[in-house]
Structure 1
Amino acid sequence: MHRTPARTPARVAVVGAGPGGLTCARVLQRHGVEVTVHDLGAAPAARDQGGSLDMQAGTGQYALRAAGLWEKFGALARPEGERTRLLGRDGKTLFDAVPPREGQGNPEIDRGQLRDLLLDSLAPGTVRWGHKLERAEPLGAGRHRLHFANGETAETDLLVGADGAWSRVRRLLSDAVPVYTGVTFVETGLNEAEARHPELAALTGEGTMMALDDNLGLVAQRNSGGHIRVYAGMRTPEDWHRRAGVDLAEPAAVRAALLERFAGWSPALRGFLTETDTGYVNRPLYALPVPHTWEHTEGVTLLGDAAHLMSPFSGMGANLAMRDGADLAQALAGHPEPDEAVTAYEKILLPRSTEAAEGAAEGIESAFAPDSAEQVLAHLTGRH
């Protein structure tokens, strides 16, 4: 009797070990699908993972449950971190929302803790560190040969680009490149905030404090371990520092430039600019054009920032990336052929990410406008 040969399992390669790529790998492994993750970082802790994230019910929380990590997440989460406070440039409180009761809302977690949670859930050797993708060579029938900067190569039946804003995988699908949003953040930080910076800790509160006015903003965000991340935001040309003759490597020069920008703000708020423990990092904000879509191409797809880079004022970036990763993995586990799975996934991904990106663009326009405090207050109180 003739027997149809069993289908050979697809070799899945994820490029990028961020929240979306790791979620995809974890859910794939839960369904018995082999996957390898390639990341340019030399080691898990090679790069700072950034600040705190709120895990939202329909995206990040959904993905954590699909990954079987909800209970472990709960042991690390900080529900009190969801508290949001809005101040005027004079330091007066305009809005201060108490976080939801435990078991409700969108609890916070540090990005580094979230990444470690996902990494620890994967089979040993899943992530190949020090593998910076240089190019992906199409081999036909959806297969690709991956060429890495360290000289190694790997072949895959399905290539998943989870490699962030400047994705190399994206080039196989789209000519789109991120563009400057018109807003730059300068990041700084406070260590042992309660003991070393008690006044600024009190201004920040338990979660996130925003002070906004006339195309400027200060954002202070609680992290675990007594750390507060601070972002000084400006609607400004991308090369603002060159125009001002500021050397970004000289903290005193950056501090002086920021104090000049925030002249007229309350002395208490200006303390976020001067009482730094970490120095200053210039972070211009970029976004992909909206909508960002592509023609379906066998053997390759995108998730997270590679698919829908948007400003942080959506509050959705990492959450969407994790939902993308979970959805793609579940589609691959539930369809007999990888291309069918990717087609089904992209039909969900593209309209969802377009809607979120439109919201993010509106959010950053509201937060950095002449009447930014009024616009954000209206949003927070439901009067928009």
Structure 2
Amino acid sequence: MSTQAIPEVAIIGAGPAGLTAARILQMHGIAVRVFEADVSTDARDQGGTLDLHADSGQVALDRAGLLGVFRLQARHEDQELKVLDYKTANLLIDDRPDKQTGGRPEIDRKALRDLLLSSLETGTVTWATKLKDVISDSGGRHLLRFADQTIGPFDLVIGADGAWSKVRLALSSVKPAYTGITFIEFWIDDADQRHPDLARLVGHGTIMAIHESKGIVAQRNAHGHLRVYAVLHAAEDWLAASQIDASEPHLLKRSLKTLLPELAPSLAALIDESRDVAFVRPIVALPTDFRWTHKPGLTLIGDAAHVMPPVGLGVNLAMFDAAELATKLKFGEEWDQDLQAFETAMQDRANAHAREAQEGFLEMYGRDAPRAILEHLQQRRNDQ
């Protein structure tokens, strides 16, 4: 492996992890190139809202010099979580932190990506470059093979390319496994004006109405936009087996009438009144003890390293990974030892959080839901 003073660094993936790493590396005078499969920043929807935690996501933004800007853009008022009864929509518990002191303000994924992109040097991100694989040479440097070109070699390749990471394939044959839960995502635009009853139902944050591993989750995004998720406990191939065309949202909506029996009418309206747009999202996770054997000059961060069920940890851990990596690599003659130390610490941290995420996911979407999540929220309230 090259021990040159100024290494060639590539990051695969322009999500929160990859962009955070790029920003901090540039702050430290390290040139970096980011390669992203999307053809542009607006090429596809970036997903819903995020709550950034004071001990992880916000730490990363602080190290990136962006915490103040984030606080100006964040929605401090949208931290509420309401658990509703699946059949009646009656309120079971309202977990509402003080909007001035709650430590997990919300920001839409696109807004976070735009914030990070705007902080980078011009030309840092190369769009429309979908990685096929990584080719390592005998000297410990790495070539990146894309569909129409091969770029490199690089001294360090950081895989921030998500759950189905191509960089991870150069380090491990382990792949994420289906959790048994599928989300079907729908959108409602301008809810405050067009659907005020639904806007009031969702309130300022997130609602959950789960019964026996099925139900509804809805969350408020910026500008009155609501994201609605039908939650199903289903076989991985249920969509193909049911012969439902995922590109026909009205067919999905019709099928959910049967798949979500006895759902309260006001909750069903969140699906019925949504736009004719739908995304089927099987929830996957890596094993809670996932690790890989170190390979000089190759590493993973974020979902590429530890994709886990969505319980509010993923992006926070991803950004913290990025900040830890970018601040602790000194790029002296023994910098690969720094990389190994980072990986060991990250894997220890990720394994612990993966177990926590698995337990939290079962609380939210297990067969006895919502009992476990109600007990958890009540205990947290009692401890305050």
Which of 21, 28, 36 is equivalent to 1:31? 28
- Per the TM alignment, residue 142 of structure 1 is displaced from its structure 2 partner at its CA by 2.2
**Cα offset, 1:33, TM superposition:** 1.0
> Deviations along 1:228-277, whole A, 9 cap, x unmatched?
00001111112222333322222222111111122212111111121112
For 2:173 and 2:10, the matched residues in 1 are separated by 22
Counterpart in the other structure of 1:240: 238
Counterpart in the other structure of 1:81: 78
Equivalent residue letter for 1:187 = E
Partner of 1:64 in structure 2?
Answer: 61
Distance, in Å, in 1 between the alignment partners of 2:243 and 2:27 is: 53
Q: Which moved more, 1:360-369 or 1:315-324?
A: 360-369
Asked if 1:13 is matched to 2:13, the reply is no
CA contact (8 A) 1:33 1:333 kept: no
Cα gap change, 1:83/1:311 in structure 2, threshold over 3 Å: closer, same or farther?
same
How many pairs are equivalent?
378
- Corresponding residue of 1:3: none
1:260 alignment partner, one of 245, 251, 258:
258
CA contact (8 A) 1:218 1:230 kept: yes
Give the structure 1 partner of residue 171 of structure 2: 173
Which residue identity is paired with 1:86? Answer: V
2:318 is aligned to: 321
Letter in 2 for 1:53: L
CA distance in 2, matches of 1:150, 1:100: 52
Trace 1:1-384 onto structure 2 (pairs within 5 A). 7-89=4-86, 90-313=88-311, 315-333=312-330, 336-382=333-379
Report deviation, 1:146.
Answer: 1.1
Once the 2 structures are TM-superposed, how far is the Cα of residue 104 of structure 1 from its aligned partner?
3.9
- Which range moves more in the overlay, 145-154 or 223-232? 145-154
Q: Give distance in 2, aligned partners of 1:203 and 1:148.
A: 46
Deviation at 1:95, TM superposition (A): 1.0
Local SS of the residue matching 2:329: helix
Cα deviation for residue 181 of structure 1 reads 0.5
Deviation at 1:367, TM superposition (A): 1.9
State the Cα deviation string for residues 12-50 of structure 1 (Å, max 9, x = none): 111111100100000101111111111111111112110
Q: Distance in 2 between matches of 1:160 and 1:236?
A: 34
Q: Which amino acid aligns with 2:144?
A: L
Deviation at 1:169, TM superposition (A): 0.5
Partners of 2:38 and 2:254 in 1: how far apart? 34
- Alignment partners' CA distance in 2, 1:65 and 1:256: 46
Aligned CA distance change for structure 1 residues 249 and 104 (closer, same or farther; 3 Å): closer
Structure 2: distance between partners of 1:319 and 1:278: 31
Distance 1:163 1:107 in 2: 25
Query: Is the contact made by 2:17 and 2:160 (CA closer than 8 Å) also made in structure 1?
Result: yes
1-side partners of 2:155 and 2:222: how far apart? 40
Q: CA deviation at 1:147?
A: 1.3
Counterpart secondary structure, 1:134: strand
**TM-score, with structure 2 as normaliser:** 0.95
Going from structure 1 to structure 2, the CA distance change for 1:288 and 1:95 (only over 3 Å counts) comes to same
Alpha-carbon offset, residue 336 of structure 1: 5.0
CA contact (8 A) 2:204 2:220 kept: yes
Mark the CA change 1:27 to 1:87 in structure 2 (over 3 Å): closer, same or farther: same
C-alpha deviation, 1:129, in angstroms: 0.9
Residues 79, 99 of structure 1: 8 Å contact kept: no
User: 1:101: Cα distance to partner?
Assistant: 3.8
Deviation at 1:337, TM superposition (A): 3.3
SS in 1 for 2:21: helix
Assess if the C-alpha contact under 8 Å between 1:179 and 1:286 holds in 2: yes
- Verify the 8 A CA contact 2:13 2:37 in the aligned structure 1: yes
Secondary structure class of the residue paired with 1:14: strand
Q: For residues 6 and 263 of structure 2, what CA distance do their matches in structure 1 show?
A: 61
Aligned residue for 1:85, secondary structure, equals strand
Q: CA RMSD in A?
A: 1.6
CA distance in 2, matches of 1:339, 1:51: 36
Alpha-carbon separation, structure 1, partners of 2:69 and 2:166: 33
CA contact (8 A) 2:177 2:286 kept: yes
Contact kept, 8 Å, 1:31 with 1:333, in 2: the verdict is: no
* Identical aligned residues as a percent: 43
Contact 1:135–1:148 at 8 Å: present in 2 too? yes
Instruction: Give the 3-state SS of the residue equivalent to 1:58 in structure 2.
Output: coil
- CA positional deviation for 1:362: 1.4
Contact 2:19 2:116 in 1 (8 A): yes
Could you list the structure 1 runs, at least 4 aligned residues long, displaced by more than 4 angstroms after superposition.
Answer: none
Between the aligned partners of 1:194 and 1:101, the Cα distance in structure 2 is 20
